[in-house]
Structure formats: structure tokens, C-alpha cells
Chains A and B, each alone.
Chain A
Amino acid sequence: MVRNKRHDKLFTGLVFGTAAYTLLMVGLVAFSVTKGSLDIFTEEGIQFITGSDWNAVEGRESFGAYPYIIGTLLSSAIALAIGVPISLAIAVFISEIAPPRIGTPLSFITELLAAVPSIIYGLWALFVFRFWVRDLIEKPLYDAFHGYLPFFAKTPFGLDIFTAGIVLAIMIIPIISSICREVMRVVPDSQREAAYSLGATRWETVRMAVFPYVKSGLVGASMLGLGRAIGETILVTMIIGNVVGPSAIPTSFFSQGQTLSSLVANEFNEASSELHLSALIALGAILFILTMGINIVARLLVKKKMKVSSGAKAQ
């Protein structure tokens, strides 16, 4: 008895300790990032967020993060817009349509792909895939639309925001689809049978019984993918074009650009002054806030939906 109690205490202590560790880490990161970026924010103020100059020359220093915020959001938005529907389709195929003899190996392969380091995707994109994107996707879009749709203006080059978005989508598809598949497994068969017994087809069953049941999980999976895309550094650095300053504000999908993390990766090695370093750290701070903000918004979205039903339940 006594032994058990002591074990219990030990276990509780351990669990609390690890929980405290995560809090401590968040606190430490927040602290260093804030401290590091203090210099640049006192120097530039709100200009650091709205401005687009990026000049590290001593004496003429001027830093603005606006182009990279837009670059980050745009490349991630493209990645999500392409990645989420495909991921959902893969997950639906594996969990609802394919017989286990096909579904099991397929889900194994997606999980394998999810574990491929992003540098591998980056190399492949740089040496092979970007030419395909340029010739098979960008050029036709450009030829068809450049006259009237500004997003497709600008001669495509293959090293640009659009390519980065597509490669990011390829990178996050295995992650999102694995999680979606895992999430869909939670749907009890009794729900599917309820739909089937009303004469639903397979697709109608997915729409009626599966998706609504796990909506929040699917949103969560997409957010996790978004988190990966927003923070992804090395892959983006390899293919986004890496421009700096006002010209990094994208005017079309085919503009060369820069993201917050790719700029940090490009410049932290040769940061010439205290202020330059502080600006780079501040880019990190913005990234941190952006990721948290998106997570919070997503959670609220999901919660709001849930509240509607549980509120009614209480009546």
C-alpha cells in the first residue's frame, strides 16, 4: 500500500515536472525573442511591421518585415489551398473506400513520406520539380490569364512563391492526410451504418456521417500542416527566389519572394550589426505570433461550432 502511494507521488511529480518543462520552454523562447527584438522595435516602431525597406548598411540601416509577412502568408495559403483537399481525398480513399489490402500499404507509405526531411523535398524541387512546375503549370496559366488576371502576370521562372507553395503542399500532404486518416478512424461504424441504412452511397456517407463527426479534428490536422508550412525554412529558402526589400512584395503568384524564416536563414550568418541581428530575431518573433494567432483563431472557429450544439444541449 505504502509503496503504491509513493509510486503514485513519484509519478505525479514526474508528470508535473514534464508539464512544467513545456511551460518553461515557451517562457524562455518568448523571453529571448522579446529581449532580442526590443532594439529594432524601439528603433523602427510599427514601421518594422508595415515597412518594406531592408538595408543593413551601417549608418543607413532600415528594416521592415512587411514583404516577408506577405510572402509567408501567401506561400502557406497556396500550400493549404492545394494540400488540404488532396490530403482529405487521400484520407477518405484510405479509410473509407480502399479495401484493407490496398489501404494498409498506402497508409504506411504516406506515413513514410511524412517522415522525409524537408531538405530532400527541397533538393528534388530545386533540381527537378521546379522545371515541371514552370513548364506544365505556370506557363499554361500565364499564357491563358496574364492579360486579365494580375495573379498570373509576370513571366514564370520556376523559382517563385507559387513553386514554393506547391512544394510546401507536397511536403504537408503526407502529414495532413495521415492525421486525417487517424482522425476518421475515430468515427464509429454505427455512424456509417446509419447513413448506409438510409440508402446513402459511399460518398454521401462520408459527407453525412464521417466529416461532420470529426470536423474539429480535420481542422486541427490542417492547422498542423499550416504550422509546418509557415515555419518551413530550408525548403523555402531553396526555391522561393530570395529577394529582399520592396521588390519582395509579391505582385503575382509568380513573383520571387521571401518568407520570414527564409530571410532569417539567409542572413543570420552575416548579420553585420546589433540592429540587423535584432531585426532578424524580430522576424522570428513575428513568426511566433503569427503561428500562435492562427492556432488560436482555428481553435476558436472549431469551438464556436461546438458551442452552438452543446449550448442547445443544455436547454
Chain B
Amino acid sequence: MAIEESLERKEALVESVKYKVSIENVDGWYGTKRAIKDINLKVREKTVTAFIGPSGCGKTTLIRCLNRMHEMTPGARVDGRIIVDGINIYDKSIDAVIIRRRIGMVFQKPNPFPTMSIFENVAAGLRLNGINNKTIIREIVEESLKNAALWDEVKNELHIPGMSLSGGQQQRLCIARALAMQPEVLLMDEPTSSLDPIGASKIEELVRTLKDSVTIIIVTHNMQQAARVSDFTAFMYLGDMIEYGATNQIFMKPEKELTERYVSGKFV
């Protein structure tokens, strides 16, 4: 009896370690509008998880709940629990600012700081963290730009404004800026939707390499992209999580008819 109990507890522990992010009964509200409803989903460490679904289904809302960005919208509110590394990020004792330092985010449109150089853009988060040691900053900036596959293109012009790069380069700069914080989870909301195909494919490639070190959650409109980059896919519709599973399964033999219709493009 006692042995069984302890085994059970051990299993529960192993279970909780396996998952980097657990979303439990999450509702996202804009005023009185319930934009996402009772979402449950567990994300494994060092995998890529894609959120797909038609426009307005709540992908952005959900991903913004994961780093407590949702609540910055006036009137917005979150119910439920989101556990990252065993800690409920919505616990009353947790400061949202600290959570955002640990969970990186990349946005739909590249948004480098226009008055800052490439170098300063990447260093911005470090400076916020009070890191002032020049050598350390230099090292982290270089490493982050390398990890974002941008170093070779900009290493000789780190002092020029981030805005003078191409759209795709700017997006990789934003990824480098997020990586400089050494996040364990990286959230990406349609990171390629404003880029040309070449810029987009570079980002996709990057996502595949990054997952060796980071847990990535990516929102995408592009089903081919989800199929190419993700290990797991969640399909959302009208604020509900319809189906969640391995990407292969979702695209090859989905369980729900709605999913089937969406992934095969018979959806308006």
C-alpha cells in the first residue's frame, strides 16, 4: 500500500518534470468577452508546439496568457492556472515582470527599438536586468546573434540602427533580443507572417535548431509551416481547444471532423 502510494507520487513527479508548461482550465477575457474557453494543454520541454486555427479563434490570446502579457490589455483578465517549471505563473505572489524576463516573446511584426543600434537592441534586456559588465554583455550579444543566425550578416556593423536591416533580419534581431535573456520558453506569434518566403524559411530553420535548447510555442496561420516545424499541434476554433496531439497525427489522421476539415483546407 505504502509502496504503491509512493510510486504514484513518483509518477506524478516524473509527469510534472516532463512538461515545461501546463495550461490548466484557462479562460481569457476581454471585458465580458470570453475569448478562450477552458483551455487545457501540456507542453513538453524542448519541443516545438504550434497553435493553429482560423482567424479570431484565440491563438494570440492564449499565447499572450503564457507570459502574462494578456493582462496588459485594458480590461483583460485570465482565469485558471499556467504552470511553468512547477510554478503557477498566475500565483498571487508572482511578479509578472519576472515571468516576462524568463519567457521570451517574438511578435508578428518585427519590433526592434528604432533608436537603438543592433548591439543595443540585443543588449536591451540585459541592461534591464542590471547587467552592466561590458565583457559579459558583449559575449551574450554575440552568442545571441549567433543563435539567431544573424551574426555573420551583422558582425561588422553592430553599431548601425536595428531598423536599417531587412524585415527578415529584423525579426531575427528580435529573436536574438529575446534569446539574450536566456529564456527557457520562447513564444512566437506568427513570426513569419510579415516576411517574404526566404526570410520566413530562415526563421523556420532557426526554430528547428533552437528547440535543442528552448521550448518553443509558435502561432501560425500557415499549415505547411506548422507541419514543417512543430512536434505537436493544437487546433483551436472559436476560443475552444478542439484537438491537440503530435503534429503527424493532427495532419494525417485527426480525431475530430472539425480538425480534419481545417487541415485539409475545406474550411471557410
Contact = CB atoms under 8 A, between A and B. Distances in A.
Q: Is the interface of B mostly helix, strand, loop or mixed?
A: mixed
Interface residues of B, number: 35
Interface of B: 67, 69, 72, 74, 97-102, 104-105, 107, 109, 111-117, 124-125, 128-129, 157, 159-161, 163-164, 174, 177-178, 181
B160 A197 contact: no
B181 A199 contact: yes
A143 interface: no
Nearest to B117: A312
A190 B111 contact: yes
B113 A208 contact: yes
B126 to A, nearest CB: 9
Contact of A312 (B102, B129, B160, B181): B160
Secondary structure of the A contact surface, majority rule: helix
A190 B174 CA distance: 12
A312 B154 CA distance: 13
B214 to A, nearest CB: 15
Contacts, number: 82
A273 interface: no
Interface of A: 99-100, 188, 190-191, 193-201, 204, 208-209, 212-213, 215, 309, 312-313, 315
Contact of B111 (A99, A194, A315): A194
13 contacts: A193-B111, A194-B111, A197-B105, A197-B107, A199-B100, A199-B102, A199-B129, A201-B97, A213-B113, A215-B115, A309-B163, A313-B163, A313-B164
A100 B111 contact: no
Contacts of A188: 111
A312 B105 contact: no
A157 to B, nearest CB: 46
B218 to A, nearest CB: 15
Contact of A198 (B124, B160, B161): B124
B107 A193 contact: yes
